[in-house]
Structure 1
Amino acid sequence: MTGRVHSYLAQHREQLVDQLTGWVRLRSVAGTPEHEVDVVRSANWLAANLRDTGFPTVEVWEGNVVYAEWCAAPDAPTVLVYSHHDVRAAKDEQWEQTPPFEPAVRDRHLYGRGASDAKGQVLAHVWGVRAHLAAADREAPAVNLKVLVEGEEEIGSPSLAGLLDANRARLGADLVVFSDTLLWRADHPAVCTSVRGVLNAHLEVKGPRRDMHSGAVSGTAPNPATELCRLLGRLHDDKGRVTLPGFYDLVAEPSERVRADLAALPFDEEDWLARSETRGLGGEQDYTPLERLWVRPTVEVQSLIAGDPIGPSRGAIPSVATADLSIRTVPDQKIAEIGEQLRSWVADRIDDRLDHELTLSDQTAQEPYHTPEDHPALDALAAAMHDGFGTPVGRMGNAGGGPAELLARTLDAPVVFFGTGLPEDRWHDSDERVNIDVLLAGAATLAHLWSRLADGH
């Protein structure tokens, strides 16, 4: 079957790329009123594609959520596929290969916003089903398939919890396949077994009641920009550890199995710096780079604004300085507790001559999730990835987050992860791209996965 799957996908390579090109042209930017209709168009585009694939039930919920099911295997397990079709905003002037919503193929990559995160991953599922049916000469998938592709993931999936609760019976499954993750390398794929949780915070430090001419008050007025920088500089100690009291109290150390799996992945510092386009390695000194990426918690500053960041300076001490923080959590940390730790830390350390306001994104926060290490679906996925990529398969984690824990808890089903992204695909940045060969290998993996899950291995 492996040869037939790869042959089918090779024959339809151009059609897959054409479909992804057309889908990427739809500006399905999440959370922006001017693109709300584009998100709806994107959902309807996917719904039509799933109908063309053969799914007998395809519906669009709440305007931007696509649900489909193909349940014709009563003795086989039921699998729910989760992903998203909304994308991050993009600034045309920062893209050098092509405008973000005018996709172009260059050097075996398709460039465009959403090409990898996550429209490409969704299309890998669509074509995986098509290859699965064609290669095995089947009229329906070997497992019962349900598909849930939302349109709000990039803004924290604020409606997902309510949607899952309202449709729990229809969404019931034995297993969830979560497709919004990365692979390790194109030539060395790895089964992802975890995602970190995420809590976003917005901190405002308030100084003068209005921007003040520095020549009038310099030397007497507390400066919120200086105070904010002082606070942020104290978030980590000289060993790269987060300084929030109690931050590490509930952190579960990685098991020996996880440590061994990560150590077995090929890692070269020069290769990593080139692929991640970073200038050096940071983080906790007592952990390897891959452990820092996937099994250790972090606090990052994502934006820092004060004064006149654009245009000529007014020569004023700013009245407000702001920072956006992203906290990545791991088992067994709890988002609510981490939020209170941050709130207390800021209140105890900020200069009392200034005021401040800390806003936590509680409604869009996500808890971490780790697939049970001995779950048989992991072995089935590893075998399917070997079929799809033709290379040895390792195990890895995912540095980002997602609603995996919410899906597992609400649907009472374990979650496994499979995505076709790579660290060098530039998610959320300019010139986002997807490796077309990896996309095809991913579709081949999924074509084999349904057969392996149906066979119990």
Structure 2
Amino acid sequence: MTNISDFLGAHRARILDELVGWVRLRSVAGLPEHEIDLRRSANWLAGALRDVGFPVTDVWGPPSAPAVYAEWCAAPGAPTVLIYSHHDVRAVKDDEWEETPPFEPTVRDGRVYGRGASDAKGQVLAHLWGIRAHLATTGRDAPAVNLKFLVEGEEEVGSGTLEDLIEEHRDRLDADLVVFSDTMLWRADHPAVCTSARGMVLATLRVFGPLRDIHAGAVSGPAPNPIIALAQLLGNLLDDKGRITLPGFYDDVVEPPDGVREAYAALPFTEEDWLTRSESRTIAGEQGYSVLEQLWARPAVEVIGIIGGDPIGVPRSVVPAEATALVSFRIVPDQTVAAVADQIRRWVAENLSSAVEYELTVSEETGQEPYRIADDHPAVLALADAMEDGFGKRPGRMGNAGGGPTELLGRTLDAPVVLFGTGLPEDRWHDSDERISIDVLLAGAATLASLWTRL
């Protein structure tokens, strides 16, 4: 590992130059004006993979969501590993970035700032340099395992065409193991192996009151107000113990396996440290469960968008015709997208005021199922050993609080999935001033350099 660390340290400047150059590309998902940037980003990555030594690279999928595929299969009899991640990034609000403009990345105080630096271009780059370090320090002409990459271009908008893409190219994607790299570590000084990921169900609820915006002075009182009706409904999503009130919602929730709660409790945690790193102001949530249990082993609901009336500009003093909310449900084993979608539909139908009408869209096709891999799976144990090599500390165990197509990959490819990323809770994913720790990036690359030999 000294040789691996020395190799990565010697190439630190080049690694950062590559990350800065890639982050400059505005590969924002879901906006037609950035389709060309997504294609540029995909072509950048394909070229970088060729530079590493991959003999086969390709760009798949529609121009609006280009995915990069690569393979280097020169180890007969060794396992085949598919590495999954994404190169698209979230939309930004430029005027909220204080450290640097989002696509003018800056290296400062041991971090790289810029949209996508951590989520997930830095994670992909850790793989590329992990392979370089693996080859340089073992003297091999090809990796010790057969490697394939699938780096998609629409993860940030729900991976809507990923399953079709896998089906179309299924004959190219056979693997014994999937390494899912769109996740976080616990702390820079205390890494943890991620063994689970929550799923996600998104619902958009439009509530209709008057037939048009109407001057409040003319109809205030008898006219139905869709904002009030929506607020009343959303206010009843949680009970006084922080539990979601959809009937039957917890019927399929499985308590964490033996030892998981103990493993979470063994991670270093203080409320002060968590509030500082997460910037979440206070701690709330479901009573009877720790912060880490809530994050990784319990379902949750968040209202992530709401609009109605005159949110900007000069108020018109009207009763608005419409109000809309976007609600995200995080689900855990053994909940399913389909069952939760039905629970949402029934709950809205039974609880929304009859004075208004509504339109509810539950995005089952882009819903994400939860996933868990056994803590003692051989690939998990190999990853734990590799993380000890890379970080110099025996890792703990954790889960992934966010969603992702983890279960989809495992199911469609019929392969176990291990999760490893170089993000941290304080990296400000999806927020302004996103950043990545350079030390964590290099330790992650060292971990991956070790993993291929251990596998």
Answer whether TM exceeds 0.5 for this pair. yes
For 2:191, give the aligned amino acid: P
> Given the alignment of the two structures, is residue 299 of structure 1 paired with residue 301 of structure 2, yes or no?
yes
Q: Is 1:347 matched up with 2:346?
A: no
Residue identity opposite 1:372 in structure 2: A
2:184 is aligned with 1:185: no
Partner residue, 2:375: 373
Say whether residues 1:13 and 2:12 are aligned partners. yes
Match for 2:311: what amino acid? P
Deviates more, 1:409-418 or 1:60-69: 60-69
TM-score relative to the length of structure 1: 0.98
Unaligned runs of 5+ in 2: none
Structure 2 distance, partners of 1:168, 1:174, is 14
Look up the match of 1:286.
Answer: 288
* CA RMSD, 1 decimal: 0.7
How far apart are residue 371 of structure 1 and its match? 1.0
**Equivalent residue number for residue 167 of structure 1:** 169
Q: Distance in 1 between matches of 2:338 and 2:125?
A: 36
Q: Residues 237-248 of structure 1 correspond to what in structure 2 (within 5 A)?
A: 237-248=239-250
Which amino acid in the other structure matches residue 385 of structure 2? A
Aligned residues: 452
CA drift of 1:405 comes to 0.5
Task: Write the mapping of 1:255-270 to structure 2, written as runs, cut at 5 A.
Answer: 255-270=257-272
Query: What is the Cα deviation at residue 25 of structure 1?
Result: 0.4
Measured in 2, the distance between the counterparts of 1:448 and 1:330 equals 31
Match of 1:161, SS state, is: helix
Which amino acid is the alignment partner of residue 444 of structure 1? A
Aligned-pair CA distance for 1:392: 2.4
Q: Distance in 2 between matches of 1:405 and 1:218?
A: 50
Most deviating of 215-224 and 236-245:
215-224
The question of 1:104 aligning with 2:106 is answered yes
Q: Map 1:292-331 onto structure 2 (within 5 A).
A: 292-331=294-333
* 1:176 and 2:178 are equivalent in the alignment: yes
Query: For 1:322 and 1:167, how far apart are their aligned partners in 2?
Result: 38
The CA deviation string for residues 94-121 of structure 1, in whole angstroms up to 9 with x for no partner, is: 1000100000011010000000000000
Q: How far apart are 1:374 and its partner, in Å?
A: 2.1
Among residues 416, 419, 433, which one is paired with 1:417 in the alignment?
419
SS in 2 for 1:280: coil
1:425 Cα deviation after fit = 0.2
Inter-partner Cα distance in structure 2 for 1:59 and 1:354: 51
Match of 1:141 among 143, 161, 165: 143
Deviation, structure 1 residue 288: 1.0
Instruction: State the SS of the aligned residue for 2:259.
Output: helix
Does 1:91 pair with 2:90?
A: no
Question: What's the offset of the Cα at 1:306?
Answer: 1.0
- In the aligned structure 2, how far is the partner of 1:433 from the partner of 1:289? 23
Distance 2:41 2:106 in 1: 19
Deviations 1:228-266 (A, max 9, x none): 110000000000000000000000111122111111111
Distance in 1 separating the partners of 2:30 and 2:277: 30
Deviation at 1:446, TM superposition (A): 0.1
Distance 2:394 2:140 in 1: 29
Letter aligned with residue 283 of structure 2: L
Percent identity of paired positions between Structure 1 and Structure 2: 67
Q: Find the counterpart in structure 1 of residue 39 from structure 2.
A: 40
- Mapped partners of 1:191, 1:315: distance in 2: 54
Letter in 1 for 2:6: S
Q: Distance in 2 between the 1:305 and 1:266 partners?
A: 39
- Name the counterpart of 1:408: 410
Structure 1 runs not aligned, ≥5 long: none
